[in-house]
Amino acid sequence: MKSEIVAAAAEIAREKRIDREDLRDILEDIFMTLMKRKYGEEADFDVIVNIDRGDMEIYVEKEVVNEVTDPDYQISLEDALKVDPEVEEGELFAEVVNPEKFGRRLINIAKQTLLQRLRE
């Protein structure tokens, strides 16, 4: 998914001559922190930033269930089947997280943290 944050960070990194790998690590660290804030320390997730393409992918692992009682840790079998027709109840499912779901407050924290880390 194209990300304005990744594109903006890449531009700042070019201006400040920051290594692309360092920038990727900073962005992944920031979004890992945001995921922990949103889903809790126990959540199993992965953040992949691709500076060259200007995008990032965020996945959270959820249990496939018939009836969702905790949407942060579970996904309905019906919804999971729309993405993976072979998934079964009880399996773990990697759900794509849209960074826009973080909300304005968490995105602002990410931007501030990014700017602060790039200055260091």
Query: How many domains are contained in the chain?
Result: 1
Task: Spell 46-75 as b/e; 16+ CB within 10 A means b.
Answer: ebebebeebebebbbebebbeebeeeebbb
Which residues of the chain carry a pLDDT beneath 70? 1-2
pLDDT digits (tens, 9 = 90+) for 51-73: 888 888 999 999 999 999 999 89
Residue 2, pLDDT score? 57
CATH number of the structural domain spanning residue 100:
3.30.1480
Domain interval for residue 29? 4-119
